[in-house]
């Protein structure tokens, strides 16, 4: 079994993102999925800032030394995802196509931003934080 670590950086205060991140399953042969709440200090957040990746614009997946952002991150998760349950089967179907991912992901991001605004939850602003 491959012991690669796959990092998923997401908004832990987002009422949509948190349950979604916790429901994601990847194939065991690919590696171990590690969830990182972007609102908490973590070394990977320094890496995202150095790369200029705004977490408010999309989640980030890191595999080996490659960072995937937004729709690309969702696509990568779909490609390594399992089909264990309805949620993961749906996720794989929706995002295994880069075309669908590029269409659907911005809609999901817009919904996320609207929910955060309605709930009074601030953006992460990871590029502005020290």
pLDDT band for 2, please (50, 70, 90 cuts): very low
Q: What is the pLDDT of residue 10?
A: 96
Decide: helix, strand or coil at residue 54: coil
Q: What is the pLDDT of residue 130?
A: 64
Query: What is the rounded CA–CA span in Å between residue 115 and residue 108?
Result: 11
Phi, psi of 71 (to 5 degrees): -60, -35
Choose among 15, 9, 27, 13: nearest CA to 81.
27
Q: From residue 95, how far is each of 6, 37, 104 by CA, in Å?
A: 17, 22, 8
Q: Where are the domains of the chain?
A: 5-119
CB 37 within 8 Å of CB 25: no
Q: Per-residue pLDDT tens for 19-61?
A: 999 999 998 888 899 999 999 999 999 999 999 999 999 999 9
Q: Is the pLDDT of residue 1 over 50?
A: no
Q: Per-residue pLDDT tens for 60-107?
A: 999 999 999 999 999 999 999 998 899 999 999 999 999 999 999 999
């Amino acid at each position: 079994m491959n012991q690669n670590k796959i990092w998923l950086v997401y908004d832990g205060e987002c009422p949509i993102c948190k349950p979604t991140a916790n429901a994601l399953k990847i194939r065991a042969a690919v590696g171990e999925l590690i969830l990182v709440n972007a609102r908490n200090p973590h070394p990977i957040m320094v890496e995202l800032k150095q790369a200029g990746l705004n977490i408010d614009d999309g989640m980030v997946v890191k595999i080996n030394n490659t960072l995937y952002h937004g729709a690309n991150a969702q696509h990568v998760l779909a490609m390594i995802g399992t089909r264990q349950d309805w949620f993961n089967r749906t996720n794989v179907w929706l995002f295994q196509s880069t075309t669908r991912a590029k269409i659907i992901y911005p809609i999901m991001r817009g919904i996320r931003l609207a929910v955060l605004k309605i709930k009074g939850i601030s953006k992460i602003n990871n590029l502005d934080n020290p």
